[in-house]
Amino acid sequence: GAKLEQDGSSWQAYAEQPLTFQFSFGDLQTNQDKIAVFVRSVENGQPEAWVQASDGEYQLTLAQPGHYTFEFKARDQAFNYSPVTAVDVTAIPVPAMISVPLLGEVEVRIFQLLVLFGSLAIFGFGYVSFEIVQHRRRIVAAVERGYNPYISGEPVRRVDMFFGRHDLLRRIVSTLHNNSIMIHGERRIGKTTLLYQLANALQEVEDEEFWFVSVYIDLEGTTEEEFFHLLMDEIAQTVRELPELAPEQIEILNGLLNLHLAENQYTDREFNRDLRQIIHILEEYGAVQHRGCQVRLILLMDEMDTLSRFNHLIQQQLRRIFMRDFAATLGAVVAGIEISKEWERVESPWFNLFNEIAMAPFSTDEAIQLLTEPVRGYYMFEPDALDFIVEHSDGRPYRLQQYALEAVNQMLHHKRRVITLADVLVAHELIQLSGQQPKGSWGEDAARGELGVPQTPAPAT
């Protein structure tokens, strides 16, 4: 018998527009021109009359949107009929069209998408162009106003200018939950900077168990008589600066003994009494502002070499405060150059409280990071300039900053944004003239007069 072939059983078509079905058919015993194909539609379960199709296609128009079923069958000359094949067609509304130059008729929905994407592209291009222009303006403005971010001789307080010690900083923070730390290293190696950055880091720590309160204390020039008084002054001032202190807590702070006793009358006993009051305030405050966290008061004590010169009794009193009275709440990070380990007494030495960490000079990668990151996007170093500074700085942060500071000043003098070897050589000479002879093989050559140092480097082209 005859058989109707079809490729699918469900399509979508637009209503109110011509729809053409194309199909193929055939029979082994009958020529194709002797086979008749019939089509009918079925709407709401009611079939219409069969209509004969011709030439392998059938055309019609769907009057309105909706679901339609079309049935096909073929008949040969012997009136043998093929099985009925059904095709489902969903008629959808004709989309709104709009005429677009160069594109012709385009669906409104597609046109809207084109407009959206085009607008995004224009906005993105405009934003990128604006940022490029602004960046160039910032560079020009930086050169004109003499922007020089390097710091020579002072500790680095800004977080965005701190480079090279992040691993050490994280190591210390992770240790402070139950330990105290002693940092030692040569002068100007970055100990004070590390303490400042540690104070910043502890303020940002989000710990599930501890709430850290850090207090920076500079012991330089402190005498034995004022030692405990100074500690309490700094601790109390830090607590006063906490936001949303209750009036009764402020009243307790106003009643501390350090406000009413002279420095030479304020001993470890008075310090212990005031510290208990302070910790009580912190525990009450933490119960509201940092629920579920234990208070951990961290003293960041700089120039701890001073304590080494104090009477052994003062040292033992400090040890007792940390070891017995406030061991769970009080911790410290102390920094010094060569904290004395001489101890001839029976009692345990005060410095046994601390885990020691030695601060080493910067590695080459850390030194390059310190030099390049502060001026990234503004200025650039020539490779030779970087190599010279790294070699002559021996990883000392202050010397790296000193070279960079003077070299950038030379660059700005010539209205450039590339730091050349000539700029660095001038900086090298200025450092020599200041009486601070750099180390390194090139520095030795310069000291012997074998290194020519240009006084007025030519602008880079």
Q: Give the model's pLDDT for residue 326.
A: 82
**Within 10 A of 374 (CB to CB), how many other CB atoms are there?**
22
Q: Is residue 458 part of a domain?
A: no
Number of folded domains in the chain?
A: 4
Nearest Cα residue to 370 out of 46, 152, 111: 152
pLDDT tens digits, 23-41? 888 887 888 888 888 999 8
Rounded to the nearest 5°, which phi and psi values hold at 221?
80, 5
Q: 172 and 294, same structural domain? A: yes
Q: 345 and 196, same structural domain? A: yes
Show the tokens assigned to 146.
């003499």
Q: 239 and 186, same structural domain? A: yes
Q: Give the model's pLDDT for residue 199.
A: 94
Q: What is the mean pLDDT of residues 170-191?
A: 90
Q: 116 and 47, same structural domain? A: no
pTM of the model: 0.66
| 43 contact partners, CB below 8 Å, separation of at least 6 | 66, 68, 69
Q: 290 and 230, same structural domain? A: yes
Q: Give the model's pLDDT for residue 7.
A: 41
Q: What is the mean pLDDT of residues 190-204?
A: 93
Q: 115 and 263, same structural domain? A: no
Q: Are 17 and 96 in contact (CB under 8 A)?
A: no
| Residue span of the structural domain in which 409 resides | 364-447
Q: Which of 229-238, 246-255, 391-400, 431-440 has the lowest mean pLDDT?
A: 431-440
Q: Is residue 155 part of a domain?
A: no
**C-alpha neighbours within 13 Å on the C-beta side of residue 302:** 21
Q: Is residue 153 part of a domain?
A: no
Q: What is the mean pLDDT of residues 136-159?
A: 78
Q: Give the model's pLDDT for residue 377.
A: 85
pLDDT tens digits, 402-425? 999 999 999 999 988 899 999 999
